[in-house]
C-alpha cells in the first residue's frame, strides 16, 4: 500500500478543491493518505513568495478562478467574508484532534467546509463554537492538547519545508512532491506507473539552468 502525505492549510481554496477531488484521483489505487496541516504563510515567507493575496490583480483572479472551479467540479465554494485570514485558530483546532500531526478525513472535511461553504466569516466566535461542537468526538480532552497542537503545527511546517514543500496543496509520495489541484492528474499517473516516471525526465526537468541573471525577473 502506498502512503501519501497531503500537506494542507484550510485558508487555501485550492487545497479544499483538491481535497474534494482526491478520491476520484485515487480510485482503484491501494494507498493510505495522511492529512497533515501546515502553516501556508510560513512556507510562502520562507521562499519569499507573497502569495496570490499579495498581488492585487492576482488576488481578484484567484477568487474568481476558485469559485468557477468549484462550480465546474461540483464542489461548494464561496469566498469567505474575509480572505485571507489568520488560519492559526483553525489549524490548531484541527491538530487538537491529533496525536501525531495528522488528522483524519472527517476532521479535515469539517474544517474545509467551515471555511468554504456559505461565505461566512471563518473566525466568527459563534461559528468557531459550532465547529468545536461538530468536532467534539475528535478533540483530545487532556490538558496538554492545546500546547501539543501548537507544537505539532510547528513540527509539520518544519518537516514540510525540509521536504521541499513550497505551497499547498502538496501531495508527497516516495520522495516526489505533486503540487496543486492541477497536479492531481500527474499524481494519479505516477501511482498508476506511467512510463514517463521511469525515465530521467523528472530529474532532468528540474535541473535545467535558468537563463535569467540573478536579481532580474
Our count of domains for the chain comes to 1
How deeply is 43 buried, as exposed, middle or buried, from its count of CB atoms within 10 A (0-12, 13-18, 19+)? buried
Residue with cell 489541484: 181
Q: Among residues of the chain, what percentage have pLDDT more than 90?
A: 96
Is 214 a member of any domain?
no
Q: Which residues of 155-186 are buried (b: 16+ CB within 10 A; e: fewer)?
A: ebbebbeeeebebbbbbbbeeebbbbbebbeb
Domain encompassing residue 74: 2-206
Q: Which one is predicted more confidently, 18 or 212?
A: 18
Mind listing the pLDDT tens digit for each residue in 98-138?
Answer: 999 999 999 999 999 999 999 999 999 999 999 999 999 99
How deeply is 52 buried, as exposed, middle or buried, from its count of CB atoms within 10 A (0-12, 13-18, 19+)? buried
Is 12 a member of any domain?
yes
**CATH for 45:** 3.40.30.10
**What's the pLDDT at 75?**
98
Is 145 a member of any domain?
yes
Is 211 a member of any domain?
no
Is 212 a member of any domain?
no
Mind listing the pLDDT tens digit for each residue in 170-193?
Answer: 999 999 999 999 999 999 999 999
Is 53 a member of any domain?
yes
**What's the pLDDT at 215?**
57
Is 80 a member of any domain?
yes
Please list the alpha-helical segments (H only) found in 30-163.
40-46, 56-73, 88-95, 105-116, 125-134, 145-162
For residue 214, pLDDT over 70 is answered with no
Amino acid at each position: 500500500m502506498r502512503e501519501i502525505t497531503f500537506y494542507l492549510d484550510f485558508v487555501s481554496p485550492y487545497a479544499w478543491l483538491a481535497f474534494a477531488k482526491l478520491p476520484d484521483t485515487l480510485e482503484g489505487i491501494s494507498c493510505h493518505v495522511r492529512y497533515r496541516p501546515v502553516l501556508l504563510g510560513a512556507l510562502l515567507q520562507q521562499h519569499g513568495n507573497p502569495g496570490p493575496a499579495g498581488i492585487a490583480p492576482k488576488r481578484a483572479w484567484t477568487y474568481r478562478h476558485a469559485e468557477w472551479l468549484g462550480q465546474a467540479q461540483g464542489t461548494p465554494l464561496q469566498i469567505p467574508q474575509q480572505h485571507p485570514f489568520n488560519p492559526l485558530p483553525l489549524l490548531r483546532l484541527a491538530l487538537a484532534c491529533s496525536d501525531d500531526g495528522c488528522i483524519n478525513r472527517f476532521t479535515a472535511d469539517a474544517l474545509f467546509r467551515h471555511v468554504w461553504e456559505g461565505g461566512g466569516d471563518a473566525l466568527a466566535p459563534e461559528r468557531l463554537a459550532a465547529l468545536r461542537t461538530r468536532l467534539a468526538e475528535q478533540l483530545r480532552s487532556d490538558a496538554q492538547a492545546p500546547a501539543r497542537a501548537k507544537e505539532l503545527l510547528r513540527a509539520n511546517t518544519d518537516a514540510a519545508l525540509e521536504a521541499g514543500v513550497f505551497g499547498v496543496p502538496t501531495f508527497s509520495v516516495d520522495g516526489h512532491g505533486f503540487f496543486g489541484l492541477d497536479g492531481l492528474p500527474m499524481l494519479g499517473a505516477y501511482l498508476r506507473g506511467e512510463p514517463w516516471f521511469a525515465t530521467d525526465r523528472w530529474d532532468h526537468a528540474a535541473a535545467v539552468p535558468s537563463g535569467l541573471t540573478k536579481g532580474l525577473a
